[in-house]
Amino acid sequence: MDFDLTPEQARFREDLRGFLDAEVPVEKQEVFGMLTEEQYQFGRGINRKLAERDWLAVGWPREHGGGGKGPIEQGILAEDLGYRRVPKSGFIGLGIVGPAIRVFGSPEQKEQYLPPIARGEVEYCQGFSEPNVGSDLASLELRAERRGDEYVLNGFKMFTSYAYHADYIYLLARTDPQAQKHRGISLFIADLKTPGISLQPLLYINGEMAAQTFFDDVHLPLSCLIGEENRGWYHAMTTLDYERSGLGIYGSVRRVFDDFVDFCQQPAPDGGRALAEHPLVRHQLAQHRLAMENWKLLCWKVAWWQSSGAVPNAEASVAFLYGTEQRFKFAEMAMEVLGPYATLRHGSPLAPLLGNIEGIHREAMHLHGAGIMEIHRNIIAQRGLGLPR
Ligand SMILES: Cc1cc2nc3c(=O)[nH]c(=O)nc-3n(C[C@H](O)[C@H](O)[C@H](O)COP(=O)(O)OP(=O)(O)OC[C@H]3O[C@@H](n4cnc5c(N)ncnc54)[C@H](O)[C@@H]3O)c2cc1C
């Protein structure tokens, strides 16, 4: 693994940081657990400005509307956007749907779907989970029945993050109910304005509004199928690995950690000793610094593997599992060190670090986002260690 950036990559990071310094003042940065509509729109605006410079899909090939660089530059972008707490938008299109279409899409689909993602014009959501189906995703029930030159969809999806901002849903549906469960599933993209699709609000613990998505006799043309019919499970599993390198999450948590270290060095408001003068706090900060560095290296290892042309699978699970647990441990430690004030939310004048500690603590409860921890342990055991199923 090569730890050095090339001179071109280092220059890209410098230029990007100059852009973010100018465009993302502190008052526009996202506070954990508080994504308002205004912040979301601000994040979309930044994406469009990045796209004007060919930086949004910087790692994609030029013919797909990207910047012609690679996964390292895409990782630099993710980490820095996270660290500047640029409100999140567009990342399902960029991180999951785009890579899937690049690998499995037809030439027409590449032309239709990829450039608008690279320009920051469209938002996607992901419809995999269902009310009865989470970790055992291959048991999904949403039915896509082929009738002549279209598919007709009936059923529902659960935990559809970003559905209220999205233009399209990228989903898995059962196309062959007779086949073994993994072999009867296909991948689709559907315009959320298609008649028969409706949303019911679903509030997450981090304050984000997601949805339950209903499909009631939804007619889709055959061109909405991505990749081969009944191979959707295998296509989706490959592209889920793109979601799991986690540099964006690392960057955003690292920023709160760095702010927390600064905060601990300030004198107490009553003129008392700074928190960092307490030996137990110092040791906690040192221990978490160690863990943050480990997390960063694991994420960069995934990006490096991707840059060498591999699809790192067990490595992505290692980084994701480690990061999700580290985020939780850091949030718990910060709450304990700050005491009751840490429970104050953004908006309270006494909330430390703008309420980011309270927000990150709520966010850290999301141990399920891209697969439960047990599933990641299974992946590491089987694919990383070669243990039997
Ligand atoms: C913040 C957030 C955002 C999400 N966004 C999306 C999204 O945009 N699109 C989407 O499709 N889904 C999304 N999800 C859903 C997510 O993918 C599921 O929550 C996840 O797959 C787990 O499914 P489940 O919640 O049904 O839990 P289950 O699979 O029912 O698991 C519940 C518990 O059962 C145990 N368990 C289950 N299976 C095993 C096993 N094999 N071995 C050991 N123990 C096991 C574990 O203790 C686990 O915690 C989101 C979830 C969250 C929390």
72-88 confidence digits (pLDDT tens): 999 999 999 999 999 98
User: Coil, strand or helix: which one is 329?
Assistant: helix
Query: CB of 33 closer than 6 A to ligand 1?
Result: no
Q: What letter would DSSP give residue 384?
A: I
CA distance from start to end of the chain = 30
Is there a contact between 30 and 251 (Cβ–Cβ < 8 Å)? no
pLDDT in tens, 207-261: 889 999 999 999 999 999 999 999 999 998 877 766 567 999 999 999 999 999 9
pLDDT in tens, 148-162: 999 999 999 999 999
Give how far Cα 215 sits from Cα of 126, 198, 204, 332, Å: 14, 7, 22, 40
Test site for ligand 1: of 165, 368, 374, 377, most ligand atoms within 8 A of the Cβ: 368
State mean pLDDT over 177-187: 95
Query: CB of 161 closer than 6 A to ligand 1?
Result: yes
Query: CB of 374 closer than 6 A to ligand 1?
Result: yes
Distance 366 CA to ligand 1 centre (A): 10
Domain ranges of the chain: 7-89, 125-230, 244-384
Is there a contact between 109 and 97 (Cβ–Cβ < 8 Å)? no
Query: CB of 126 closer than 6 A to ligand 1?
Result: yes
Distance 137 CA to ligand 1 centre (A): 9
Instruction: Give the closest residue (by CA) to ligand 1 atom 23.
Output: 134
Atom of ligand 1 nearest to the CA of 205: 1
Is there a contact between 338 and 357 (Cβ–Cβ < 8 Å)? yes
Name the architecture of domain 125-230.
Beta Barrel (2.40)
Q: How confident is the model at residue 272 (pLDDT cuts 50, 70, 90)?
A: confident
Instruction: Give the closest residue (by CA) to ligand 1 atom 35.
Output: 374
Gap between the Cα atoms of 53 and 263, Å rounded = 35
Name the architecture of domain 244-384.
Up-down Bundle (1.20)
Which amino acid, one-letter code, is at 296? K
Is there a contact between 224 and 190 (Cβ–Cβ < 8 Å)? yes
pLDDT in tens, 12-46: 999 999 999 999 999 999 888 888 889 999 999 99
Rg of the chain over Cα atoms, rounded to whole angstroms, equals 21
Pairing of strands 168-174, 124-127: parallel
Q: Which tokens go with 171?
A: 């989903």
Which amino acid, one-letter code, is at 270? D
Note the maximum CA span of the chain: 76
Instruction: Give the closest residue (by CA) to ligand 1 atom 47.
Output: 374
Test site for ligand 1: of 35, 91, 135, most ligand atoms within 8 A of the Cβ: 135
Which amino acid, one-letter code, is at 279? P
Distance 244 CA to ligand 1 centre (A): 15
Instruction: Give the closest residue (by CA) to ligand 1 atom 52.
Output: 369
Gap between the Cα atoms of 104 and 21, Å rounded = 37
State mean pLDDT over 349-367: 93
Is there a contact between 227 and 53 (Cβ–Cβ < 8 Å)? no
Instruction: Give the closest residue (by CA) to ligand 1 atom 4.
Output: 369
Distance 161 CA to ligand 1 centre (A): 13
Query: Within a 10 A sphere around the Cβ of 164, how many other Cβ atoms?
Result: 17
Instruction: Give the closest residue (by CA) to ligand 1 atom 42.
Output: 374
Test site for ligand 1: of 125, 159, 320, most ligand atoms within 8 A of the Cβ: 159
| Chain CA centroid to CA 276, Å | 33
In 222-295, where do the E strands start and end?
225-226
Q: Report helix angle 71-83 to 279-307, nearest 10.
A: 150
Is there a contact between 11 and 55 (Cβ–Cβ < 8 Å)? no
> According to the 3-state scheme, what is the secondary structure of 221-256?
EHHHEECCCCCHHHHHHHHHHHHCCCHHHHHHHHHH
The residue written with tokens 């970003």 in the block is 162
Q: Tell me, what's the pLDDT at 312?
A: 85
Length of the chain: 389
Marked catalytic residue, from 243, 315, 358, 363: 243
Query: CB of 160 closer than 6 A to ligand 1?
Result: yes
Is there a contact between 271 and 277 (Cβ–Cβ < 8 Å)? no
Gap between the Cα atoms of 171 and 213, Å rounded = 11
Instruction: Give the closest residue (by CA) to ligand 1 atom 24.
Output: 134
Gap between the Cα atoms of 142 and 146, Å rounded = 13
Q: Tell me, what's the pLDDT at 368?
A: 77
| Chain CA centroid to CA 303, Å | 15
Pairing of strands 143-147, 150-160: antiparallel
228 counts as catalytic: no
Atom of ligand 1 nearest to the CA of 163: 8
CB-neighbour burial class of residue 157 (10 A; exposed 0-12, middle 13-18, buried 19+): buried
What residues are paired with 190 via a beta bridge? Answer: 169
Query: CB of 366 closer than 6 A to ligand 1?
Result: yes
Is the pLDDT assigned to residue 280 strictly greater than 80?
A: yes
CB-neighbour burial class of residue 266 (10 A; exposed 0-12, middle 13-18, buried 19+): exposed
Which amino acid, one-letter code, is at 21? D
Distance 375 CA to ligand 1 centre (A): 9
State mean pLDDT over 253-278: 94
Q: Tell me, what's the pLDDT at 309?
A: 82
